[in-house]
Structure 1
Amino acid sequence: MYLYYSFIRVFKYLCRERERRGQTMYLRSAARGFLAFLLLVSALHGYHDWTVTYTSSTVCALRGSTVEVSCSYEYPDKLQNRSTPVETLWFTKEDHSQPGGLVSDTDYAGRVERSCEEHSCSLSSCSGNCTLRIRDLRQSDSAEYKVRFITNQPGGEYTGDPGVKLTVTDLKVKVPHWIRLWKYLECQSMCVLSDHPNYVWYKNGQHAEREITKMFYIKEGDSVSCAVEGSERFHSPLVCAKGIKNLCNKVTYSTRTMCVLQGTSVDISCTYSTYRGLKLKEKYWYAWSNNNEPTDLQKDSEYKGRVQYPVKERGGSTLKITDLRDTDSAEYRFKYKSKSHEWKSALHGTTLTVTGLRVEGAAVAPVTEGQRVTLSCSTRCLLPGQTSYIWYHNKGPVAEPESTMNKLVLDPVGLQHAGSYSCSVRGYPHQSPEETLTVSCIMCILCRD
């Protein structure tokens, strides 16, 4: 804008001078130059009208954790005083020119949320912010994430390219060298974690020093692990100090998190070892609590008759809980004792979430026939594998009784769709509580009005 007004002032000055001198040829050249200048400014301005700005170009996050990718966008408002809806689409894969949205991608089912603020317009442009949240990160989530926003403006849509490169990493303890009985340890990851975090160290399952890198006094039989402060649940695998057959005192769980339906059963497993093969006098599972001493679940009245330890082989243990209840949602850890050693793990075990089913999307107020209604069979956590859902309408299965997605779309909804809805998961007997969908007759409304 400054250049524009500067050019105008110069042009007017030249006009006055050339009119005084009668040199019109120079004015024609100046006019042509001025027109070229305006076209250049217009082209540059149009190029920058549509923008997407990401808060970061690269993100490094721990496997199993949650990550957020955010952006702001801006576009020209060429339809002033008219509604300008905005649809945002996050994607990693492209099918020719039409990218597939993550919300409908089965690889991300139940793990993706998209939240966008209401966009605002001022003068001749509109802008907004949008965030993508991915839970329970997997190695396969490492990719470049982009956002496309679609409007009713001329030109319509724009993709922020390049996007945000996400790298999902695990932690590991590296042992570069020995210094007598001391070991110099490093907590490493595949990429540089954001915000330069502090690290928490564990020796023999108990809290140790807290540094980015640290010297440890380690003897045969010790085990070491590290974690990012604030994300201790995603600690590194235990590393043994060199000893006989490389065995040490440690407990390793087969999985960190589990999601299971109410009324069913679950098996939680671990492997363990002791230095020099110490004979154990006691071993059991317990539900971890900050305030209470560990209690053997087989002696806990809350689990009476529902807990077994079926695996008897050396070096492994399984906790089996039947008839699961909502109150069974907890973190479960394994404990063992010998004459000379007791495993008092401060490391996280397996976190179990017990969930029921519920139908969401049935409106409290009546919906009008002809609208689009989406019902969801929701759970507190993400069920494992490709879960198949069955829908029931007025206690009978719907026309399409099974789906790998947890959605039932009624589009358009009609009077025949009114009634009660429930859902279940194939292979499990329990159904969700029923929810009622009320549909109003559009002709009745028109006649009444």
Structure 2
Amino acid sequence: VELTCSYTYPSGYTITTTFWFTKIYAEENYVSLKDDPDYKGRVTYREDEENGHTLTITDLRESDSATYMFRFTDQTGGWKYFGKPGVTLSVTGTDPTNIIEGTCLRLFCESICFLQDNPSYIWYKNGQRLFSHETKYLILDPVCSEDAGRYACAVNGQEDLASAEKTLTVRYHLRVKPSGEIVEGSSVTLTCSSDANPPVDKYTWYKKNVTSPKASGQSYNITNIISEDRGEYYCEAENKYGRLISSSVSVDVQCKFT
């Protein structure tokens, strides 16, 4: 995360010290984040143009939730300032059982019992054993929608002491499958289907080599289709995780003989 501020000071002064802080241990005892053991090695300062200053915090943690303030002093120490009330940063945790498709997930099986060296483990999905996984780690890389389900584990030989189940929910991007039948003179409907989670908010239809969209909505209806309508069509589906363009469907209008 980056926090940025700008500051001004009277002419004739030279600013010698600039830093960010969250803690004041005593009056005039401000601890720069660079010297704060809770942030050691995770913060950088950058002087920007026109008296701007940027704080960058890497490896963000929930414990970084705090109010951040900026301080500067001049060469004499006579001109001092720190920004109140500061900016409040709120860092929330992530739910490891609710993950976006395409990322990596590692499940870990831990036992409080005394175990022999290098025990093997059993993993279950929806009550069925996963025979391809026998270590304490179950790695799903990348996660796909088919990985959603209830997971549990046990030490091999102690199947009656299986762990409680954890439900994995996979939030996935969009998959779009257009379809349609083409008959000259009839009405043709192209349908954009998606199993997106969460559901699609917006569908838009395009024809290749045509800049402006042709239609919006899950279905695109071409009435009384003619030869000029032939070409490649595709749809764009969008939800809060992003947008995806479908593969194209070819509309090849055949002549109708009477």
Give the structure-2-normalised TM-score.
0.43
The structure showing larger relative contact order (alpha-carbon pairs under 8 Å, at least 6 residues apart) is: 2
Higher helix share: 1
Give the structure-1-normalised TM-score.
0.26
